[in-house]
Structure formats: C-alpha cells, structure tokens
Amino acid sequence: MTEQSPGLDNLLNEVRTFPPSTDFAAQANAKPELYDEADADREQFWAKQAERLDWDTPWTQVLDWTDAPFAKWFVGGKLNVAYNCVDRHVDSGHGDQVAIHWVGEPGDTRDITYAQLKDEVSKTANALLSLGAKAGDVVAIQLQMIPEAIFAMLACARLGVLHNVVFGGFSPHALRARVDDAAAKIIITSDGQYRRGKAAPMKANVDEALEGAETVEKVIVVRRTGSDLEGEVSWTEGRDLWWHELVGGQSAEHTPEAFDAEHPLFILYTSGTTGKPKGILHTSGGYLTQAAYTHHNVFDHKAGEDVYWCTADVGWITGHSYIVYGPLANRATQVVYEGTPNTPHEGRHWEIIQKYKVSIYYTAPTLIRTFMKWGAEIPEKYDLTSLRVLGSVGEPINPEAWIWYREHIGAGKAPIVDTWWQTETGAIMISPLPGVTSTKPGSAQRALPGISAKVVGDDAKEVGNGGGGLLVLDKPWPSMLRGIWGDNDRYRETYWSRFADQGFYFAGDGAKYDADGDIWLLGRVDDVMNVSGHRISTTEVESALVSHPTVAEAAVVGAADATTGQGIVAFVILRGNAGASASGEEAVQALRNHVAKEIGPIAKPRQILIVQELPKTRSGKIMRRLLRDVAENRQVGDVTTLADSSVMDLISAGLNSGKSED
Ligand code: WT7
C-alpha cells in the first residue's frame, strides 16, 4: 500500500543494535520504569509531567476527550507559558545562567542570561501592549535566527497573543497567505539577514507581501544588517517602527497574567495535500507539558550542566518546541546560530560545538548527509568530546548516515535519538530513550512513555511484527494540535476521517514493525513531499507552476534524493505558443525561478521536464506513481489503467535530456 522508495529494503534489513553504556544508563533522566509508570495510569502520568511546570491555578481534570477530536488537557488549569520559560528560573536563583549563546553568521556573538531574557521579553511585551495587542490577537513573525525572534515569541506567549511565525525563506506571496488567513495585526521582521556571508533583504519581502493587506496595522523592524544592506530600507510612516526605538524605550517590568491551559499559544502553517497551507493550532498547558517532558527525557537534558543545540529554524515546529518552549521550560543553556553550516567554512558547526562545549546536538538527516559529503576530516579537526547525546529529526535517517553520525560526531558512543513527530503532534512522539533503548540505525523504534502509536492496515487492524501499513496515533496526547485555524471540517477530514470508526489520528506516514516490534517510518503516503526535512505539497508546487503564463498543465512528484531525502521533480506541459517559441532550457529556468518566487527557494524543483502529455487514467486522474518511477529511474510500473499507454515511453525518453540543476 505504501509506495516505497528504493533503499528502504536495505534499511529494513538493518540488524545492528547499540545499547547505551552502563554509565549513561545509570545517570539517565528516563529509566525503563518510565514506560511501566505511564502504562499503569496514563492520565496520572501526564499529570505528573504537567507538575514539572508552574501553574497559577491547578487543573480539575487531566483530559476531556468528550468533544473528540477536539481535546482539552488540564481542564481548568491556568498558567503563563512565558513565565514558565523565563521568570521562574530567575525566581529560583538562576538569573545569571546563560539561556542563549547566540552566534551571528559574521562572527558576532551575544550571551543572554535568564535575567536578561526576562528583561527583553518583558520589554517586548510592553511594546506590543503599547500598540494595542491583546490576548487572542495574532502577531506574525518573519525573522531569521536572531535573539529577537525568541523574545518576540515569548512576549506573545506572555500576553496570550498568538504568534504566527513564517519561515524567513518564504516568498511574499506565501507570507501574505499566512498573514491573511490568520488576520495578523502586527508583523515583526528585520531589515535584512546575513546568509552565506552576504546581507540579504528581509523587510523588502514583507513590504511586498503587505501591499493591499487589510489586517496588518504595524510592522516592527529589527535592525540587523544596517548599512551592510545595499539600498534603502523603504519605510511606511505610521505603520513601520524600529524595534530598538519601540522596544528599547520600554520598561523591563511586566507582570505576567495566567491564561487557561487551553488558551491558544500559536498558529504554525504547514503544507497539506491541497494548495492551501493549514494553520496548525496549538494551545498552552498540554503543549508546554509535552515539549518540556520530551526535551528532558529524550535528550537527557540536565539543567545547568548541559549545553544544548538544536540546529532548526524558529520558522518550523522544531524551532518552536525544541529551541523555544521545551528547552527554556527546562532551564537549558543553548546555542542559537544565525547562519548556514558552511559559512565561512565547512567546520562551522564543529567549531561552535568546540567553543561552547555543546553536549546535546539535534539536527536533520539532510544536514548529516551533507556533512558526510564534505568529509569526515572536517569534524576530525575539532574537539567534539563534549557531545553526549545526538538527535535526528525530519525524515527517516538512512543507516549509512546514522552510522557516520555516531562514528564521526558521537565518537562511537553518544546515543542517537531518531525522533518522529510532526507540526501537528507538537512534540516528539516516537523515539528511543537514550539511557534505555538499544538503538537501531534507521528506526525511531517506540512510542514514548505516555504516547500510543500503532501501525495498521487499511482495515484499521494492527499489523503483526514484520508487517507494514499506516501509522496512527490511537490515543490523544497533551501537545496534539487543537485544530486547523478557521477550518474545523478540514481538521476532521484530514486527520480523523480515514479511521473515523476507531477514532485514530492518521499521521499520513507509512510505517512497518520489525521482528522485535520496533517502528520504522517509511515516508509519506499522501501527496506531500519531504525535501531537506521541509514539508511541501505537490499540489502547492503544481499551482505555482500553472500560475505561470507559459504552463498549461503540471504534475509534481517527490523523487528519492541522496542528500535532500526527496527532490522535487515536475512534469510540465507548455501552452501551444509558448512550447514553440521558448527554448527548453530557458523555459525550465524561468519556471524554476517562478516557483521560488511564488513559494520560496525551498520549493524550487530539482528537475523540470517539459512533456507533451501526462499519464492519466481514463477518468483523468494523473498517475503520479508512474511519474515517480520515471523520476527515480525505475522501470515504469503497471500502465494498464492509462488512457494512452504510449505516453510513458515518450516521457521516459525525454527525461534525461531535461535535467536542470543549480
Ligand atoms: C513529517 C512531519 C517533526 C519536525 C520536523 C518536520 C517526517 C519527521 C521523522 C523521523 C521519519 C520523519 C514524517 C512526518 N518525519 N521526523 N524521525 N523519521 N520521518 O515536521 O514538517 O510537520 O513534517 O516529517 O513524514 O509526517 P513536519
């Protein structure tokens, strides 16, 4: 049922296992008993995890699932999320502990203690208040990895204002869709960002996005690149405000108010199977509970001792849960790095790990494969002995990359936690526990204590060991999404309709149990691609392509890619006159740039093939499976359902002449 890419077979034959050392196991936060404790009484278990936070008003009920699939966790409880991530650590005497070692790409650095973080977040909250922001409003944030991004998110949380963070690489068009859908009143951005050694504009993107936008009243602009940015930053009087003027002048005193456990915390857009991104809604108490619990147990984090580094961007859920909320709730000291991993040299990450003695490092398989390509001699030049736990997230990690990570980064001993989760799940769901699990290269292995996941067939029955099927979550969890912003029907339809009778959450991933019952993730089973750990829908890229005047029709597939996991391959039929005039190569370049402009550079197709026809069934449905065969250089599968079976020969013949890469 799941369409597997080549390589998964070898992945599933993996038999090596790596138990934790006895020393690691002895000092670990999570011991084997954690599973038993959770199994004995799930709700009691989650209540205990929630007690790691500071509540203003205790809850009266752990879980209310009567209105399923709309969950309420810690009913009646009240807390302030920002207070939990910041103030309480100052109150408990840790104000001088560094919260953030920030490293700018050009080499500038900033250490921010918890006391300073409290001041900055309070000032930012006061600034938002001065602009009239109030609980329930939405503030959009498009910022690169600078401390202000974190101050802004926490300031929103402090006020009960929802943040809607939009990845800095998204185009004006994509930003606008996310601002409009959420009806954001304020947007926070920067003048420009340093990337690959150069200053690139940010505010210009926002200005373009906001042309004609109706909800945005104020734009707050962090000055980051200043005079390094060529050309003037354009300014709309009465709308635009410099961060340093607005926030700089505020008082550092702000008393946080407690909000209901189910008060919305943020919206984060992610791609679905249609062209319209989904605004995933997360709330406060349950989300923070699970983000903190997983960060503590999966990474074995010890407050005040470890130096933690998650290399994600705050524009994605990983940045929300494992840079902002989980680690800060746990009083982590963490590295936040602004730039790319090869600026100014390919050892940048290892240099940072050496300098700050990073002990926990959490990154994505695509980056690990890139490091492999750059060569093991690069990390070898640095002292990485501080590393004691390594994490992976975003896509299945292939065993070669896993072993390389362990050998060359983890000195053959740091446990690797392969963490499966989604924007929708809010926090890690399936992962080894580093002091408990004998890890297997390529497997996320087992649902965490308190979490329940199953691999089922189309008939909703759990498959046996060795069997494959669809991954479902059969019990609600604290950090689960509470809906899709403004679209309850789509929420029900997308996640809860496939196994409606059983009440299972359908994750959209294929999975398999091995002989021991460990879970192996096999990739998406819907029209969603995973490119460098970024989720991009085939439909979104198709819509971008057909919005170009030369395109008549387009079909997009994700094809296996040695570095990025999947690469975007597009099959395009040009309009009659365009097909005749434009040269193939020029047309392809123009289309790739058009997609980058419509969605963002991350969605730029790796390959575009101009074709005369697309393979369609008699009812007109495009058979992506066949296109994927072509894109992955496989023998084309069964074509008997095609309306015209010669179409595939034509396409296959043309593919290798249509390659185009940057
Ligand atoms: C999809 C979710 C979770 C934060 C980053 C991506 C894939 C994620 C793994 C993993 C295999 C993984 C799944 C999932 N995925 N982690 N460890 N092993 N696949 O968040 O954009 O919401 O994407 O990423 O396909 O459904 P996202």
Q: CB of 394 closer than 6 A to ligand 1?
A: yes
Measured distance CA(152)–CA(123) in Å, rounded? 10
Whole-number average pLDDT of the chain: 93
Long-range contacts of 30-39 (CB under 8 A, 24+ apart): 30/297, 30/298, 30/300, 30/433, 30/434, 30/435, 30/436, 30/449, 31/435, 31/436, 32/436, 34/297, 34/433, 34/436, 34/449, 35/449, 37/449, 38/449, 38/450, 39/449
Positive or negative torsion for Cα 374, 377, 382, 384: positive
Q: CB of 366 closer than 6 A to ligand 1?
A: no
Give me ligand 1 centre to Cα 526, in Å. 13
Residues 6+ apart with CB under 8 A from 577: none
What's the confidence (pLDDT) of residue 583? 66
Q: pTM (2 decimals)?
A: 0.92
- Token duo for residue 465: 């060991």
What's the confidence (pLDDT) of residue 655? 59
Q: CB of 418 closer than 6 A to ligand 1?
A: yes
Residues 6+ apart with CB under 8 A from 41: none
Residues 267-324 have pLDDT tens digits of: 999 987 777 899 999 999 999 999 999 999 999 999 999 999 999 999 999 999 999 9
Nearest CA to ligand 1 atom 24: 394
- Token duo for residue 291: 């983000």
Nearest CA to ligand 1 atom 23: 422
Give the orientation angle of helix 172-182 with respect to helix 203-210, to 10 degrees. Answer: 60
Give me ligand 1 centre to Cα 502, in Å. 24
Measured distance CA(285)–CA(274) in Å, rounded? 31
Residue predicted with more confidence, 10 or 199 = 199
Residues 594-636 have pLDDT tens digits of: 999 999 999 999 999 998 888 887 777 788 888 998 898 888 8
- Token duo for residue 538: 């085939």
Segment (H or E) for 586: helix 584-598
Range from 197-211, 512-526, 646-660 carrying the lowest mean pLDDT? 646-660
Q: Is the pLDDT of residue 6 over 50?
A: no
Measured distance CA(626)–CA(283) in Å, rounded? 41
Nearest CA to ligand 1 atom 6: 394
What's the confidence (pLDDT) of residue 650? 77
Measured distance CA(454)–CA(475) in Å, rounded? 10
Counting beta carbons within 10 angstroms of the beta carbon of residue 577, is it exposed (0 to 12), middle (13 to 18) or buried (19 or more)?
Answer: exposed
Pick the atom of ligand 1 nearest to 419's CA: 17
Label residue 580 by pLDDT band (50, 70, 90): low
Give me ligand 1 centre to Cα 533, in Å. 7
Segment (H or E) for 552: strand 551-561
Pick the atom of ligand 1 nearest to 423's CA: 22
Q: Is the pLDDT of residue 657 over 70?
A: no
Q: CB of 444 closer than 6 A to ligand 1?
A: yes
Give me ligand 1 centre to Cα 318, in Å. 10
Q: CB of 5 closer than 6 A to ligand 1?
A: no
Give me ligand 1 centre to Cα 482, in Å. 19
CATH architecture for the domain at 548-658: 2-Layer Sandwich (3.30)
Q: CB of 87 closer than 6 A to ligand 1?
A: no
What's the confidence (pLDDT) of residue 575? 87
* Beta-strand pair 162-165/138-141: parallel
Give the position of tokens 């920002």. 82
Residues 346-402 have pLDDT tens digits of: 999 999 999 999 999 999 999 999 999 999 999 999 999 999 999 999 999 999 999
Give the position of tokens 């204590």. 449
* For ligand 1, mutation pick of 481, 535, 537 (most atoms within 8 Å of CB): 535
Label residue 342 by pLDDT band (50, 70, 90): very high
Label residue 660 by pLDDT band (50, 70, 90): very low
Q: What's the N-to-C CA distance of the chain in angstroms?
A: 34
Pick the atom of ligand 1 nearest to 420's CA: 17
Residues 494-505 have pLDDT tens digits of: 999 999 999 999
Q: CB of 507 closer than 6 A to ligand 1?
A: yes
DSSP 226: G
Nearest CA to ligand 1 atom 2: 422
Give me ligand 1 centre to Cα 509, in Å. 9
* For ligand 1, mutation pick of 2, 170, 271, 420 (most atoms within 8 Å of CB): 420
What top-level class would CATH report for the domain 22-509? alpha beta
Give me ligand 1 centre to Cα 394, in Å. 4
Q: Is the pLDDT of residue 11 over 70?
A: no
Measured distance CA(104)–CA(114) in Å, rounded? 19
Give me ligand 1 centre to Cα 422, in Å. 5
- Token duo for residue 515: 């002989």
Measured distance CA(621)–CA(418) in Å, rounded? 36
Q: Distance between alpha carbon 580 and the CA centroid of its chain, in Å?
A: 42
What's the confidence (pLDDT) of residue 646? 80
Q: Count the helices and strands in the chain (H runs, E runs).
A: 24, 30
Long-range contacts of 254-258 (CB under 8 A, 24+ apart): 254/121, 254/122, 254/123, 254/125, 254/126, 254/158, 256/80, 256/82, 256/83, 256/87, 256/158, 257/80, 257/135, 257/159, 257/160, 258/56, 258/57, 258/78, 258/79, 258/80
Give me ligand 1 centre to Cα 535, in Å. 8
Residue 216 has φ and ψ, to the nearest 5°, of -80, 125
Starting at the earlier edge strand, list the strands of the sheet with 278-283.
240-242, 218-222, 186-190, 138-141, 162-165, 264-270, 278-283, 483-484
Give the position of tokens 């959770």. 38
- Token duo for residue 317: 């859920």
Residues 58-69 have pLDDT tens digits of: 999 999 999 999
Residues 456-490 have pLDDT tens digits of: 999 999 999 999 999 999 999 999 999 999 999 99
Residues 523-541 have pLDDT tens digits of: 888 888 999 988 898 888 9
Residue predicted with more confidence, 579 or 546 = 546
Contact present, 472 and 456 (Cβ < 8 Å): yes
Contact present, 307 and 161 (Cβ < 8 Å): no
What's the confidence (pLDDT) of residue 617? 79
DSSP 462: B
Residue 343: which of 101, 602, 107, 146 has the closest Cα? Answer: 107
Positive or negative torsion for Cα 385, 390, 394, 399: positive
Q: CB of 598 closer than 6 A to ligand 1?
A: no
What's the confidence (pLDDT) of residue 14? 72
Cα dihedral: 462, 464, 470, 475 (round 10)? 40
Where do the domains of the chain lie? Answer: 22-509, 548-658
Question: What 3-state DSSP class applies to 196?
Answer: coil
What's the confidence (pLDDT) of residue 619? 74
Contact present, 646 and 560 (Cβ < 8 Å): no
Give me ligand 1 centre to Cα 410, in Å. 23
Residue 403: which of 439, 363, 379 has the closest Cα? Answer: 439
- Token duo for residue 13: 């034959």
* For ligand 1, mutation pick of 421, 428, 431 (most atoms within 8 Å of CB): 421
Residues 6+ apart with CB under 8 A from 46: 62, 63, 73, 289, 450, 478
Q: Is the pLDDT of residue 638 over 90?
A: no
Measured distance CA(283)–CA(267) in Å, rounded? 9
Q: CB of 294 closer than 6 A to ligand 1?
A: no
What's the confidence (pLDDT) of residue 378? 98
Residues 372-381 have pLDDT tens digits of: 999 999 999 9
